[in-house]
Amino acid sequence: MSGLTREALVPCRNIEGRLVGVLRLVQADRKSDSIRVVAPEEARQHGEEGVQLFESRSYDFELLNARGSLRVQANRVVKPSSIRPTIGRIDTGVETGLLQLVLEDAQSNASVARGAVEVLSAKISYRRDYRGMLSFIANECSELLFDIRASAQMRLAPKFNPGSHNLQGQLEFLAAELTSRRFVAALQRVISMPHQKLQGQ
């Protein structure tokens, strides 16, 4: 079940899954409500984020509950304030798909934690039409979907094709797998208990 609102909270977690800070998003204009909050089960079922924004809209953000000298990393869509980098604006423009919100250390510029929102298409159905269109394009010519400069990303299901020349796509998939919570948790388990041996049943 989902509903529209003017404000939502996005948790930002580090690579171990610990909560580092929370981004409060507030719709910047007085138009109709444009932040969709989706139940966790529905978001999981459709492979989407629980907090969803719309293209061509603006949202103010504020970093809450953050310890240390953290700030929100800037990109073409996310624009932190030059006076106080824990506040700023997200101008979605024509970007759609998965938008990662990165918290970084203000001194070292190192990424510390991540949160994410989904940016929905405004003119067509995001799930049926937009994602269906991207799936078709991915099947026909996946290289067109990978733009290194894009701020938003799209989730794709891998399909191994021997002899594929789409190296950038393969690297994107590998990076997503190596930074996934599941892989990091498994790696932490092995590192924390190297002396234990697991046996299958």
Asked whether the beta carbons of 79 and 71 are under 8 A apart, the reply is no
Out of 60-74, 92-106, 110-124, 158-172, least confident range: 158-172
Separation between Cα atoms, residue 26 and residue 47, nearest integer Å: 24
With tokens 């590192």, the residue in question is: 191
Separation between Cα atoms, residue 133 and residue 127, nearest integer Å: 10
Q: Does position 180 have pLDDT exceeding 90, yes or no? A: no
Rounded (to 5) percent helix, strand, coil in the chain: 25, 35, 40
Asked whether the beta carbons of 137 and 145 are under 8 A apart, the reply is yes
Which pLDDT does position 113 carry in this prediction? 93
Q: What is the pLDDT averaged over residues 104-124?
A: 89
Q: What is the pLDDT averaged over residues 8-24?
A: 94
Q: Does position 189 have pLDDT exceeding 70, yes or no? A: yes
Separation between Cα atoms, residue 103 and residue 114, nearest integer Å: 6
What confidence tens digit (pLDDT) does each residue in 36-92 have?
999 999 888 888 899 999 999 999 999 998 777 899 999 999 999 999 889 999 999
Q: Does position 3 have pLDDT exceeding 90, yes or no? A: no
More confident residue, 185 or 113: 113
* CA 59 to chain CA mean position, Å: 16
When the pLDDT of each residue in the chain is averaged and rounded to a whole number, the result is 82
More confident residue, 33 or 1: 33
Q: What is the pTM of this model?
A: 0.66
Out of 30-39, 56-65, 93-102, 123-132, least confident range: 123-132
Please give the full DSSP string across 106-167, using - where no structure is assigned.
TTT--EEEEEEEEEE-SSS-IIIIIHHHHHHHHHHHGGGG--TT-SEE--------TT---H
Which pLDDT does position 48 carry in this prediction? 86
* Secondary structure of residue 26 in the 3-state scheme: strand
User: Which class for 100: exposed (0-12), middle (13-18), buried (19 or more C-beta within 10 A)?
Assistant: middle
